[in-house]
Structures are given as structure tokens and as C-alpha cells.
Amino acid sequence: MSRTRELLREPWMQRGVRAALAAALAWQVATLLPPALAQYAYYAALGAVIAVHPTVADSAAAAWRTVLAILTGFALAVVVHEVTAPTPLPGALTIALVVALAIVVERWPVLGEHRTWVSFAAVLMFTVGAADPGRYALSYGGLTLLGAVIGVLVTTVLFPPLQLTSAVRRVAAARALLAQHLRDMAGGLRQGEVPSAGEWELSLLHL
């Protein structure tokens, strides 16, 4: 049991438990929706995994930025499709144009580290959802948002946020090392052994 408790204090283990639970819950909830949406339940599981981070603030930021990036990519793909559909532009060139524009849009700082979802969603929409953009955007974007909300809720409830396991351990290790050095120095002083300036500096470097 002690080994299990120690393992559950590890940030990577906590994230793994959260992500697994959030994905399962999101998928289960999505399967209860109407069949048109339930068939894409895995999008909800994806959104849940995306939104699971060490803190609630990080989870919420990841959730809305990822969904915003996905919807931006969808919108970009729809615009390019509508503009290029009447032209004889080959499919490969159209895809290249979509990706190039998506990369430019990804420079938008609001999206942060989730910017790459723009190009991913744009290509996905253009190749899979072009026949019915509105339905595909609702299925993918809506279910991803649903999963992301569940991911944020799981992060809030399971293992309280702002885990400082690594920081606590490092502080404890620094305290122990400092205490040991002070004990060594006190012992030396009791015996009349006064360290030289160089030995003082060397001792401080080991802290």
C-alpha cells in the first residue's frame, strides 16, 4: 500500500489516471447522445485526454485553445474549399494551399502550444468532412469540447490541482543536504578545525 501511495504521488501517474478516467467517462457520455453524434464518441475521448493537465488552469487553457484551434482549422478549410471548388485546381494543390494558410494562422499567439491543431483540423475537414462541413464541425468540435469539459472536471476532482510533488522533494533534499553540511561544519568547529576560505567556498558549492 505504501508503494502504491508513493506511486500515486508521481505527476505522470496522476495524469495517467486522470486521462484514463476522463477518456472513459467522455466516451461513455458521448455514446448516450443521438446516433448522429454517438458514432463519433472517440472525439470526446480525445478531447478529454487533451484537456488533462497537472492543474485546473492548465486544463482549462488547453481545452478552450485546442477547441478554438480546431474550429479555426475547420473554418479555414471550408473557406478554401468554397473558393477553389469552381476552379480546376488539382486536389494536391488545394491541400497544399490549406496547409500553407493554416501554418500562417498558427502564428496567432492566442493558440499557444495548441496551434498545430489548426493545420490538423483543416486537412481533416478538407479530406473527410467536406461533404457536410456543418455536421462534421459539430461532431468533431462539439464532442471534443464535451470531452475537454469532462477532462477539466476530472482534473478538478481527482488529485487536487497544483501538485508540487517534485518541488517538495527537491526542497526536502536541499534541506537535508544543508543540515548535513551544517552538522559537519559544527563538528569541525567544536574540534577547533576552522575551514579555510577555499574550504568554505567548496562546502557552499555542494549545497
Regarding predicted confidence, which is higher, 165 or 143?
143
Per-residue model confidence as pLDDT tens digits over 11-53 = 778 888 999 999 999 999 999 999 988 998 999 999 999 999 8
pLDDT at 109 over 70: yes
Per-residue model confidence as pLDDT tens digits over 167-207 = 556 677 777 777 776 777 777 777 776 666 566 566 555 55
Pull the grid cell for residue 65.
485553445
| 159 phi-psi bin (left φ>0, alpha ψ -120 to 50, beta other) | left
pLDDT at 7 over 80: no
